[in-house]
Amino acid sequence: MIDIKLIRENKEIVKENIKKKFQDDKLPLVDEVYNLDIKYRESKTKGDNLRSEKNNLSAEIGTLMRNKQALEANLIKPRIKEINKELISLENLETTLEKEIKEKMMLIPQIIHDTVPIGKDDTENVEIEKFGKPIVPKFEVPYHADILARINGLDKEASGRTSGSGFYYLMGDAARIHSAMLTYARDFMIDKGFTYVIPPFMIRADVVTGVMSFAEMDAMMYKIEGEDLYLVGTSEHSMIGKFKDQILAEKDLPIALTSYSPCFRKEVGAHGIEERGIYRVHQFEKQEMIILCKEEDHMDWYNKMLSYTVEFFRSLDIPVRTLECCSGDLADLKVKSCDVEAWSPRQQKYFEVGSCSTLGDAQARRLGIRSKNDAKTKYVYTLNNTVLATPRGLIAFLENNLNEDGSINIPNALRPYIGGKDIVQ
């Protein structure tokens, strides 16, 4: 959510930003908020003037009563009653206007960073850099479900009986590699100075609407029937929610956290749920990194966080590239975002395994997260980035460490987490 001062002082900047995101249907919101804000401030001013008049009249009545001029005092009292009625009316109007302004402001996208490329959708995202040589083996790399089948590592038939499509059983060495990758991701981030956290896996609606747009919420979140609780789509949601309505000491910034959670997503959209594989599923696990920092530090942290994910995947012998998200592909709360994509030897192309984003002060404004120094209080900046989301990370690992005989190499970094094994077969 942007600062309403920007709409008051330069609404054309807000409109231009909406155009850059190809959301012209939202342009009328800017003028609507501008006009509602004028009415709101006029009402506040009128109310302040009435309260001042009421205070003066009350003081005058007090003086008259002390001077035993009750008749004169009683002549003033009807005006105070009129003021009280007017104030009730104005306060009701202010409440209505405030709610309407907030609802419309929540739909206006965050101002994007000036380095974000302009484009309509993900087809216009821009490659930044490649890391590691993308290798195509001399042998044919099977579909990941077949790789897992060869080590008796996947049962989707059973999960279909218990849970339906979009779920899976991982078994044996496949499950062990999966867990080893997550544990390694945890320790990798702890070694970078991040504090490890296991957050709640369910959050309330006011936290959900604080961390994401309504469109994302409808497409992603599972609601618990009969309760004000949602299953998390990523631990970022509950991690940022942890600081709701808090005033942090500026000296304690940045706050660097790495969190584990299962994640639950509807995956509503054109891609659909995979029937045979585990690339697009309703349930997965994730190690995340979260930063709360000062405005002037957020781009330094953005670049640092992105480098950590690249370093993590390269330590597992997985070639990756970074892909800058264009304006039309950015979620409304994001200022700037970059996907990390892993190389698929089978498909001979890259696929998304993580995303690094700075959201400016959008989440902090929605959730009331501020920092304070001796001079003033201001909103913090929040960032998030995927360390590892698996089973997608597992798919990348399997394809890039597969041998022709179906065995799977275990890179040095992962061996301590899988009993010292250097190969699985």
**pLDDT digits 0-9 by tens, 136-175:** 999 999 999 999 999 999 999 999 999 998 899 999 999 9
Spatial separation of the C-alpha atoms in residues 343 and 307, rounded to whole Å: 17
Contact call for residues 144 and 368 (beta carbons, < 8 A):
no
**Do 122-424 and 4-105 have the same topology in CATH?**
no
SS3 content of the chain, % helix, strand, coil (to 5): 50, 20, 30
How is residue 238 annotated by DSSP?
H
E-strand stretches of 62-162: 126-131, 154-155
What band does 268 get if pLDDT is binned at 50, 70 and 90? Answer: low
Calculate mean pLDDT across residues 221-228: 92
Q: What is the average per-residue pLDDT within 239-260?
A: 97
Task: Report the pLDDT averaged over residues 209-223.
Answer: 82
Are the beta carbons of 181 and 391 closer than 8 angstroms?
no
pLDDT score of 375 = 79
> CB within 8 A of 295, min separation 6: which ones?
360, 361, 378, 381
pTM above 0.75, yes or no: yes
- Dihedral sign for Cα atoms in the order 66, 72, 77, 80: negative
Confidence of residue 270 (pLDDT cuts 50, 70, 90): very low
In DSSP terms, which residues pair with 290 in a beta bridge?
A: 257, 384
pLDDT at 114 over 60: yes
Q: Which long-range contacts (CB under 8 A, 24 or more apart) does 304-309 make?
A: 305/356, 305/383, 305/385, 306/338, 306/340, 306/356, 306/385, 308/188, 308/189, 308/192, 308/385, 308/387, 309/340, 309/354, 309/356, 309/385, 309/386, 309/387
Segment 33-71, tens digit of pLDDT: 999 999 999 999 999 999 999 999 999 999 999 998 999
pLDDT at 216 over 90: no
> Which helix (H) or strand (E) covers residue 286, if one does?
strand 283-293
213-237 mean pLDDT: 87
| Residue-averaged pLDDT of the chain | 94
The CATH architecture of the domain made up of 122-424 is: 2-Layer Sandwich (3.30)
Residue 271 in this model has a pLDDT that exceeds 90: no
Domain ranges (residues) in the chain: 4-105, 122-424
Mean pLDDT of 405-423: 94
Please report which confidence band the pLDDT of residue 107 belongs to, taking 50, 70 and 90 as the band edges: very high
Q: Once rounded to an integer, what is the mean pLDDT over residues 380-385? A: 97
- Neighbour-count burial for 10-43, b at 16+ CB within 10 Å, e otherwise: eeeebbebbebbebeebeebbeebeebbeebeeb
Per-residue pLDDT at 213: 76
Mean pLDDT, rounded, for 3-11: 94
For 4-105, CATH gives 1.10.287.40
Mean pLDDT in residue range 98-125: 95
Place of tokens 């994302």: 216
What are the distances in angstroms from CA 344 to CA 103, 133, 140?
A: 43, 12, 12
Going by pLDDT thresholds of 50, 70 and 90, the confidence category of residue 296 is: very high
Q: Where are the beta strands (DSSP E) in 99-158?
A: 126-131, 154-155
pLDDT-derived band of residue 276, with 50, 70 and 90 as boundaries? confident
Rounded average pLDDT over 327-331: 95
